[in-house]
Amino acid sequence: MASMLLAATVAVAQPPPAPPYPPAPPPRTAPPAPPPRRYPPPAVVESAPPPLSPAMRVIYAPFYVAGLVIRYGVYYVIVAPLEVFGRALNYGVEGGVSKGDDR
């Protein structure tokens, strides 16, 4: 009787068996990668335009000279004298150079 009681308590004390696990899901597969794109070769660009014809150079020359006169004329007629005058005011007659008396 004791063995039956022991068997009954052991059978009741154990948890019920676990239900069977569900089947594993099928492995995930990524869609295949698209094929690489084929780019067209780059367009060839000429590095420099062709030189002007002699007739166009004659027509263009006065405008080129006018541009140079405006560019450098403004600097040497207006800007440079103002810079020199400003330096003369800053440094005075000596120009910022000592005569050697300060030794």
Q: pLDDT tens, 47-84?
A: 888 899 999 999 999 999 999 999 999 999 999 999 98
Per the confidence metrics, is the pTM higher than 0.95?
no
CA distance 60 to 62: 6
The pLDDT value recorded for residue 13 is 66
pLDDT value at position 101? 64
Q: Is the pLDDT of residue 103 over 60?
A: no
Alpha helices in the chain (DSSP H): 2-13, 54-74, 80-91
The confidence score (pLDDT) of residue 82 equals: 94
Residues of the chain above pLDDT 70, percent: 81
